[in-house]
Structure 1
Amino acid sequence: MSSPTPERAGAVPPPPRLPVFRGRLHDARTATVVGRWLGAAFAVCLLTGLVSHYLQRPPGWLADELPARPTWGYALTQGLHVATGLAAIVLLLVKLWAVYPRLFVWPPATSVRHALERLSVALLVASAVFEVLTGLLNIAQWYPWPFGFVQTHFAVAWVVSGSILLHIAVKAPQIAGHWSRRSAGTSALPAEDAVDRRSLLLGTGAAVGVVTLTTVGQSFTPLKAFDLLAPRHPDHGTQGLPVNRTAAAAGVTARLVRDWRLEVEGRRPYVLTLDALRGLPQASARLPIACVEGWSAEADWSGVRVRDLVERAGGRPGRDALRVTSLEASGAYRVMDMGSEYAQDPLTLLALALNGQPLTLDHGFPARIIAPNRPGVLQTKWVHRLEVL
């Protein structure tokens, strides 16, 4: 009878045949250089994302403290958020290219500490890919998932941030050793890699530049002529302004607004027809409208100051907030609360006209809110009710 084979005797099986990577740039120096760029991009995205989130959904204690100035504040921070997020896609792909051979090392974990390190890297990669992918799809307004984008994107941003900090803490010695060309750890790297690495990094920078140049024009209008890849162009749309949510999408029809009335609730409630609203003292303001997808455009608006309507209803100057309700049948922002800083700002209007012409139905006819330093989703269209809080 033949003796048992090693496999039958319980011997350790040989490791699986893994891919062999011969590219010299899959190394720590390349990963460190690209990683510090990527870390800076995620830091900018986190800070500007916090601004966007808390402007859209402020906690109660913050609602009356949010500043209405500078008027272009949200347009700047959200434009920077989206532009940096798009650049981060390029950087993340290059970073993953530099480190992915590490996924195939064997054995996959040599100790508990090593296993935890690998799990932390897996969490970092998964959350980072999730953030940039969902952000990209949000720009295109495509939501092929069952969860709410805003809440989930915000929550995972904290996971990414924590994972990055944990990764830096774990890899601090290696990062320090490859931070610069003079670092001690780079002495072991082949000198002939310098030219190839420089070419890779220049190519990465060029790709980031191209992506930025062809998208940032949707918010930085001096570059709008190069706005080739962004989903919005600041000049395209009815009355010279883009439209995110049309009247048809909101279920608002010409028949629905035919007998429109503005209801204002407060200590002295009242109702106004459109003609009566047009008969009140009118004000004008040149303000940007800036949306979470990253585009923004300035326009000339005219209408009635919101603070005048609040005071007429018995509101206290500088103290009372406002609740605004739209005619649209449904939507996450059909009802919008406005803190006192916005409600009392002289530039905050119940707008009736855009660029010298009455609002079209898609732009919120008969009346819409326009306020400085405010996300586009809170510039409520088809307003039919104001409630002084």
Structure 2
Amino acid sequence: MRLPSPPRVPVPSFTARLHDPRTATVIGRWLGIAVAVCFVTGLISHVLQHPPEALVPLLPSRPAWGYRLSQGLHVASGTAAIPLLVAKLWTVYPKLFAQPVVRSVRHALERLSVAAMVAAAVFELFSGLLNIVQWYPWPFSFVPVHFAVAWVLVGALLVHVAVKAPDITAHWSRRSPEVRALAAADGPDRRSLLAGLAAAVGAVTLVTVGQSFTPLKRFDLLAPRHPDRGPQALPVNRTAAAAGVTGVSAGRWRLAVTGPRPYEIGLAELRAMPQHTVTLPIACVEGWSRSAEWTGVRIRDLLERAGAPPGARLRVVSLEGHGAYRVMEMGQGYARDPLTLLALRINGEVLSPDHGFPARIIAPNRPGVLQTKWVARLEVL
């Protein structure tokens, strides 16, 4: 007895306009720019946070606002890429149902590159979005996985562009008869779609970028941080309670400085040393940043007192008992920069516990996670 054949599922028929190469190419240009900016600035961020050993002495401390700019662009471009990715997928998703599934080696490469590219792009953008709000519903460490998948995304994107180069070239401008025909038939609809997409990108940027670009802070409606909100009018990511650093006594706290001439120094002695005031931003990997006025002792003065040689690196150890960044190292470029302070005051006030009382590091062009709070020890390497 022959079993009945399973019913055949009809292939969907797509009749809506704008699922065409011209629309996909135009949106792809915008998305490509956003991904390129996001990748380059993310690479800068990763190198500054986790520099290879050979680069530690070479990392520049200037411009002082460099990390603030690059990380602000990283988060802004990644956020703007989300509506662009959704629009790009909308224009091309009918091709998922094209028959036959694989027509040639080139077509197979195209499909594989698209699968890897879409999966990597969705993971990168939405994991980055969750990182901004500091929610990690996964068992792996965010930073190394996010960094690795970024290379997968760029590799898949380059393969995809290489495979689709003939189509991209044909629809890049309106010179070909096919593109002119598409523009004549669907021009008003395409312009409306692109205008709406540009408005969506502009809106999502406007209501989030104020967390780093403070002139737009009044429009900061959807960003998880506002640059003016927090202890002493400055946001914090990790409070003293969360770090387990509470009840530090100003009278009993001592800073240990190791080197050829090791010594210990108390808070009163630090306050009696020459004080320097600098204006520097705190710029965090989540995308928010805020400039403040910091007052304290220059790190290079503390190192010279310990007899540190000119090219010495510095290790900073926090009172914090645990945490990925409780120990931080900086090269001589940062340690000798006159803007790098062991800060004791912020905006004229003594540091609050959440901002690192009794002393913290503040240095130019550094990620916020490396501006160590609750400093206990400086080690000349």
So what's the TM-score if we normalise by structure 1? 0.94
Residues in 1 aligned to 2:183 and 2:341: alpha-carbon distance in whole angstroms: 64
Counterpart code for 1:217: G
- Report the residue type matching 2:371 in the other structure: Q
How do 1:91-130 and structure 2 match up within 5 A? Answer: 91-130=84-123
Q: Which residue of 2 aligns with 1:302?
A: 295
**Counterpart in 2 of 1:329?**
321
Amino acid of the residue matched to residue 340 of structure 1? Q
Q: 1:379 aligns with which of 366, 371, 376?
A: 371
> Which amino acid counterpart does residue 29 of structure 1 have in structure 2?
R
1:50 Cα deviation after fit = 1.0
Contact 2:251 2:266 in 1 (8 A): no
Check whether the contact 1:63–1:339 (CA below 8 A) recurs between aligned residues. yes
Alpha-carbon distance between aligned partners in 2 of 1:33 and 1:196, rounded to the nearest angstrom: 14
- Give, in angstroms, the shift of residue 6 of structure 1: 9.5
> 1:171: Cα distance to partner?
0.3
Deviation (angstroms), 1:15: 5.4
Q: What is the alpha-carbon distance in structure 1 between the residues aligned to residue 302 and residue 290 of structure 2?
A: 27
- 1:15 touches 1:106 (CA, 8 Å); kept in 2? no
- Measure, in 2, the Cα distance between the counterparts of 1:195 and 1:187: 13
Q: Normalised by the size of structure 2, how large is the TM-score?
A: 0.96
How big is the shift at 1:322? 0.3
Aligned residue pairs: how many?
Answer: 381
- Cα separation, 2, equivalents of 1:31 and 1:148: 34
Deviations 1:208-253 (A, max 9, x none): 1101111111111111111111111111111111111111111111
* Partners of 1:258 and 1:279 in 2: CA distance: 14
Q: Aligned residue for 1:282?
A: 275
Question: How far 1:184 sits from its partner (Å)?
Answer: 4.1
The amino acid that maps onto 2:87 is V
Unaligned 5+ segments in structure 1 are 8-12
Q: 1:273 to 1:98 in 2, by over 3 A?
A: same
Q: CA deviation at 1:266?
A: 0.4
- Partner Cα separation in structure 2 for residue 238 and residue 312 of structure 1: 33
Provide the residue aligned with 1:219 in structure 2. Answer: 212
- Work out which of the residue numbers 7, 25, 35 in structure 2 matches 1:32: 25
- 1:183/1:14 CA distance change after superposition, 3 Å: farther
User: Is the 2:250–2:267 contact (alpha carbons within 8 Å) kept by the matching residues of 1?
Assistant: no
| Aligned residue runs from structure 1 range 62-81, under 5 A | 62-81=55-74
Match of 1:293 in 2: 286
Distance 1:292 1:20 in 2: 45
1:262 maps to which of 226, 234, 255: 255
| Distance in 2, Cα, partners of 1:374 & 1:366 | 21
User: Residue 18 of structure 2 aligns to which amino acid in structure 1?
Assistant: L
Deviation at 1:182, TM superposition (A): 2.5
Deviation at 1:5, TM superposition (A): 8.8
| Structure-2 residue corresponding to 1:163 | 156
1:108 CA displacement: 1.7
- What secondary structure does 1:64 align onto? helix
Deviations 1:187-209 (A, max 9, x none): 45373311000000000000011
* Structure 2 gap segments, 5+ residues each: none
Q: Bigger CA drift: 248-257 or 154-163?
A: 248-257
- 1:131 corresponds to: 124
Task: State the match for 2:169 in structure 1.
Answer: 176
Corresponding residue of 2:304: 311
The separation in 2 between residues aligned to 1:139 and 1:258, in whole angstroms, is: 38
Deviations 1:271-328 (A, max 9, x none): 11111111111111011110011111110000100000011111123x1110000111
